[in-house]
Structures are given as C-alpha cells and as structure tokens.
Amino acid sequence: MNAPLTASRLSVVAAALTDADGRVLLAQRPSTHHHAGLWEFPGGKREQHESPLQALRRELHEELGIEVQSAEPLICIPFDLGQRPIELDVYQVSRFAGVPVALEHQALHWVERRALAQYPLPQADRPAAAALSRPDRMAVTPEGIAAPSVAEGVIGLLRAGHRLIQLRCPQLDASAQRELAAALLPDVRKFAADLLLNGDIEGAERLGCGLHLRSAQLQQTRPRLASGQILSAACHDLADLARAEALRVDCVVLGAVMSTATHPGRAALGWAGFAQLRACSSLPIYAIGGLCADDLTTARRHGAQGVAAIRAFWPLP
C-alpha cells in the first residue's frame, strides 16, 4: 500500500507558548471554526508573502495580543488525514511581550506538559504535544553482547541523559532478557526514565515496564499495560502504522530512513519517504536507520518525535 501523494499542503504556523514553569498555552478553538471546541496551539494559516516567523508574529498579535520576541522551531508536522492536508509548523515561544488574552478563542489554559495529551486536540497536534513532553531520543541496546555489558551500557545511557531505552537482546533467551530488565528497573526508575522490553509482552505485563512490539506482533490484541507503561511499536510501512494506531500505542519507531550496515537489503525511506508516511498517522514517530543525535533537527523538520539508534547512542566501545 502506498501513501497518497499530496501536491500541496496548507501551511499553518502555531506556537507552543511556555511560561516560567514550563507550562504550555492551549487555546480552545472558536465555536464557528473547523475543529470547534478542540484545544490547539494558537496560530493560523501562513499567507503567501510571509515567512513562517512573520506569520507567527501576526497570528499571535491578532489572536492573543502579544508580541513574539523569540521563537525556536519545535516540530513541523505534515498531516494528510484531515479535511485538507496541512503542514503544521510549530515553534516554541518562551519570550514574548504582553499577557495573552483570548481575542478569538473561547478560552486559554496554561497546561503542564504531561497533561497536554489529556486535552481534546486536533489529530495533527498529537505529535507536537509529544514533542513537548516526551524524550527526543530512543536508545536501543546493541545485539551480540553479554548481559553484564548490556547492564553497564544501560547505566551509561541513563547517566548520559537518555530517558527512553529499548532493551533488545536477541542474543539472550526471553527469560534472561526479562531477568536483566528486572535488575535494571530500579536504576531506570531512579532516573525517571522508561525501559521498553523488546517483544516480551508477558514480561512487560509482569514487570510493569514499557514494551516495544515487533512489527510481526502488530496483529495481536492490545497488551494489558497500565497507563504509565509506554507501548511502542516497530513500523515499516503504512499498514504497520495503521495497525499501531488501532492498538493505541504511545509511539512508533519507523524506518529505515537511511540504509544501514545491519539491514543492507532493506530499501531506505529517505526523509521525503518518512514524511510521506508521517503524514498518514497521528502517532509520535521516532525515525530509525543510520541516524544519530546530529539528525535531530532534520528529524523534527520532517515531523519526527526524534531519533532512535543503536550504536550512535551506545556508550561502550
């Protein structure tokens, strides 16, 4: 199945305004507008003669009565599933003059980042809410190394600031991988991080940790996980993304974006191919395949939550 090709997307700019406590401003759309009553990031359609930042300044002046002083690109989300394909270009704005007033919206709320997903948002905004509240890197453990070295490497990842780690140990049997996860969980929790157990549904259910579904497991029913247990899934195409969405996963890993030494035979999506698939899903998506931390800016520009990688993040030689 191919993603539908889109000649042009409507260019929309929006702002994640943040206050001194890091909360984000959500605005309730007017009752007369498309998506009435849903909560959004203030902004609007970019006019032809405008740059994204000029459009953002104008929209925030019109809608909130504030003057933007600086804006950093957060994520640019191509999204083709709505009434009209859009490209939602979201900027983080922490410096502005004035106090936001609802000049066009029904209401304004300053929202804790973790609570953003609890608001009814337009589908296209879901990846932006995730970009504001979840890690931009997923570190995956390398195969072929002994359990003590995996444990040492995972502690190194936590110390280096990684907060989302997928434990993938095809060299161990399922019970040894589960044992390793159980031993690592106290440290993972101490760092307020999440550990995703690769492929072991029963293990994740028992240990109360996260779970990363292999693409071959996407046909199954939703695992019984509590709301704090992150569910992610490996996806390679549109059909995988649709199944992951039906399973209500929290995020997916999509690739390969670049061809890699570990999967030489698999055709690479390239960033354009990645964005085309991204546009057909409302899930937060980590890009994988020949990528490293230097690719984070490019990843965000193509609508990715961030980058997933094995060797690029692994702290041991």
Ligand X SMILES: Nc1nc2c([nH]c(=O)n2[C@H]2C[C@H](O)[C@@H](COP(=O)(O)OP(=O)(O)OP(=O)(O)O)O2)c(=O)[nH]1
Chain positions contacting Mg ion, by CB under 5 A: 44
Q: Give the residue at shortest CB distance from Mg ion.
A: 44
For residue 250, CA distances in Å to 184, 227, 234 come to 22, 10, 12
Round the CA-based radius of gyration of the chain to a whole number and report it.
20
Of 44 and 73, the one with the shorter C-beta distance to Mg ion is 44
Question: By CB under 6 A, which span of 42-50, 174-182, 238-246, 300-308 interacts with ligand X?
Answer: 42-50
Q: What angle do CA 252, 26, 125 make, to 5 degrees?
A: 25
Residue 251 site contact among ligand X, Mg ion, none (CB < 5 to 8 Å, cut-off depends on kind): none
Q: Which of 6, 23, 44, 315 binds ligand X (CB under 6 A)?
A: 44
Q: Is 12 in the site for ligand X (CB under 6 A)?
A: yes
The sign of the dihedral angle between the CA atoms of 49, 297, 239, 250 is: negative
What is the per-residue binding string for ligand X in 69-108, x denoting contact by CB under 6 A? -----------------x-x--------------------
- Residue with smaller CB distance to ligand X, 61 or 236: 61
Where do we find the tokens 């600086």? 70
Q: Could you tell me which residues come within 8 angstroms of residue 129 by beta carbon, excluding any fewer than 6 positions away?
A: 116, 117, 121
Is residue 248 within 8 Å of residue 12, measured between CB atoms? no
The CA distances from residue 108 to 30, 66, 230, in Å, are 11, 14, 29
Nearer to Mg ion, 71 or 283 (CB): 71
Q: Binding of ligand X at residue 34 (CB under 6 A)?
A: yes
Nearer to ligand X, 40 or 80 (CB): 40
- Which pair of structure tokens corresponds to residue 204? 């994740």
Q: Is 236 in the site for ligand X (CB under 6 A)?
A: no
For residues 116-175, which are near ligand X according to CB under 6 A?
Answer: 122, 124-125
DSSP H helices in the chain: 52-64, 126-133, 147-159, 174-190, 201-207, 238-246, 270-278, 296-301
Binding site for ligand X (CB under 6 A): 12, 14, 33-35, 40-41, 43-45, 59, 86, 88, 122, 124-125
